[in-house]
C-alpha cells in the first residue's frame, strides 16, 4: 500500500494540545500503566515525531533508561532534539524510515514502541519484521492505532457537510485487522487493549482547529476533497456550519477517540 503522507510539525502539535485540553482521559498514563517499563530498559520509539513518548518514558523511569527515537521527518526530529537539549535528557534521535531496514543490530532493544504511526507502513510484514528483528528475545513491542469506531462524530460531520465519502484511513482500516494479525503471526504473546477518550467541545473554535489540523492541505489523505486551491477554506466553512448546528442542538460536541494498543512479547 503506497502511502502519500507527511505529518507537519504544527498539525501534530495542535492535535496533541487539543487531546490534552479537551480529552477526559490521559493516554500516556494508560500506555505507561500497560507497558510497565523496567529500570535500565533499552528502548526504541519508532515514528517518535517530536518525542512525546520518549519523554514520557524518561519521566516514568526517572531517566534510568537508554532511549532512542526514530522518525522520517527531520523537522520533527529537530524539535525532539531541541527538547532533549533543553531538558538535558541525553536521548538519541535518529532518522529512520520504517519502510527501509532499521539502522540497528538484531536483538538490541528491551522495548520497542510505535504510537500512531505504524499504519503508515507500506509493507506491513516488512515493518513489523524490522521491529521484531531489533527486539531482544523476551523483549516487547507496544503499538497504538485507531480502531474502526474511532472519532465517529468527526467523520459524520464531514460526510454531512460535504456529501463526500470519507477516504479509506490507513489507520482505522488496518490497525485491528492487518497489523494485529501480522503481529500475532510473529510474536509469542499478543494482547489487544482498548482506550476510549471522549473529547468534549463546548465551542466551535477548538473543534475546527482540530479539523484543520487533521484535514490540512499538507495531508494528502484528504486530497480528493480539495480539487483546487480555494477548496480548503470552502470545505472548512461547510464543516463549521454543520458542526455549529450539532453544537446548537446538543449543547456540546463529543468526539470519542477509540484507540487500540497491541502489546506483544518476542
Ligand atoms: C501521528 S504522528 C505520531 C508521532 C508520535 N509517535 C506521537 O504519538 O506524538 C505519526 C508519525 O509517524 C511518522 N512517520 C510517517 N511515516 C514514517 C516512516 N515511513 N518512517 C518513520 N516514521 C514515519 C511521522 O513523521 C510522524 O512523526
- Which H or E run includes 111? strand 109-115
Here the cell at position 107 is 536483538
pTM here is 0.86
130 lines ligand 1 (CB under 6 A): no
Domain 9-265: homologous superfamily in CATH: Vaccinia Virus protein VP39 (3.40.50.150)
Distance 114 CA to ligand 1 centre (A): 8
CA of 12 to the centre of ligand 1 (A): 10
Q: Which atom of ligand 1 is nearest to the CA of 52?
A: 9
Instruction: Answer yes or no: is the C-beta of 116 below 6 A from any ligand 1 atom.
Output: yes
Q: Residue 120 has what pLDDT?
A: 87
- 266 C-alpha vs ligand 1 centroid, how far in Å? 23
- List the domain boundaries for the chain: 9-265
Which pLDDT does position 28 carry in this prediction?
Answer: 92
Give, for all 266 residues of the chain, the pLDDT tens digit: 554 555 566 888 899 899 999 999 999 999 999 999 999 999 999 999 999 999 999 999 999 999 999 999 999 999 999 999 999 999 999 999 999 999 999 999 999 999 999 988 999 999 999 999 999 999 999 999 999 999 999 999 999 999 999 988 878 888 899 999 999 999 999 999 999 999 999 999 999 999 999 987 666 778 888 877 778 899 999 999 999 999 999 999 999 999 999 999 99
SS (H, E, C) the chain: CCCCCCCCHHHHHHHHHHHHHHECCCHHHHHHHHHCCCCCEEEEEECCCCCHHHHHHHHHCCCCEEEEEEECCHHHHHHHHHHHHHHCCCCEEEECCCCCCCCCCCCCEEEEEEECCHHHCCCHHHHHHHHHHHEEEEEEEEEEEECCCCCHHHHHHHHHHHCCCCCCCCCCCCHHHHHHHHHHHHCCEEEEEEEEEEEEECCHHHHHHHHHHHHCCCCHHHHHHCCCCCHHHHHHHHHHHHHHHHHHHHCCEEEEEEEEEEEEEC
Q: Is the CB of residue 44 below 6 angstroms from any atom belonging to ligand 1? A: no
Please work out whether the CB of residue 31 comes within 6 Å of at least one atom of ligand 1: no
Amino acid at each position: 500500500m503506497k502511502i502519500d503522507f507527511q505529518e507537519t510539525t504544527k498539525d501534530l502539535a495542535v492535535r496533541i494540545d487539543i487531546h490534552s485540553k479537551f480529552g477526559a482521559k490521559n493516554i500516556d498514563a494508560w500506555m505507561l500503566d500497560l507497558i510497565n517499563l523496567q529500570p535500565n530498559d533499552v528502548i526504541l520509539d519508532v515514528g517518535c515525531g517530536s518525542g512525546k513518548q520518549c519523554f514520557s518514558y524518561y519521566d516514568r523511569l526517572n531517566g534510568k533508561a537508554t532511549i532512542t527515537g526514530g522518525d522520517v521527518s527531520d523537522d520533527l526530529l529537530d524539535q525532539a532534539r531541541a527538547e532533549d537539549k533543553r531538558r538535558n535528557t541525553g536521548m538519541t534521535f535518529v532518522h529512520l524510515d520504517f519502510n527501509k531496514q532499521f539502522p540497528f543490530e538484531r536483538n538490541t532493544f528491551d522495548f520497542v514502541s510505535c504510537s500512531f504511526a505504524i499504519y503508515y507502513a507500506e509493507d506491513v510484514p516488512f515493518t513489523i519484521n524490522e521491529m521484531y528483528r531489533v527486539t531482544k528475545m523476551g523483549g516487547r513491542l507496544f503499538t497504538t492505532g485507531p480502531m474502526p469506531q474511532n472519532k465517529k462524530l468527526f467523520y459524520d460531520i464531514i460526510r454531512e457537510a460535504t456529501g463526500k465519502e470519507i477516504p479509506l484511513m490507513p489507520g482505522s482500516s488496518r490497525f485491528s485487522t492487518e497489523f494485529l494479525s501480522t503481529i500475532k503471526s510473529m510474536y509469542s504473546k499478543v494482547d489487544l487493549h482498548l482506550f476510549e477518550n471522549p473529547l468534549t467541545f463546548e465551542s466551535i473554535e477548538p473543534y475546527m482547529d482540530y479539523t484543520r489540523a487533521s484535514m490540512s492541505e499538507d495531508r494528502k489523505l484528504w486530497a480528493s476533497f480539495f480539487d483546487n486551491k480555494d477548496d480548503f477554506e470552502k470545505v472548512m466553512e461547510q464543516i463549521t456550519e454543520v458542526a455549529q448546528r450539532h453544537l446548537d442542538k446538543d449543547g456540546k460536541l463529543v468526539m470519542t477517540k477509540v484507540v487500540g494498543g497491541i502489546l506483544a512479547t518476542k
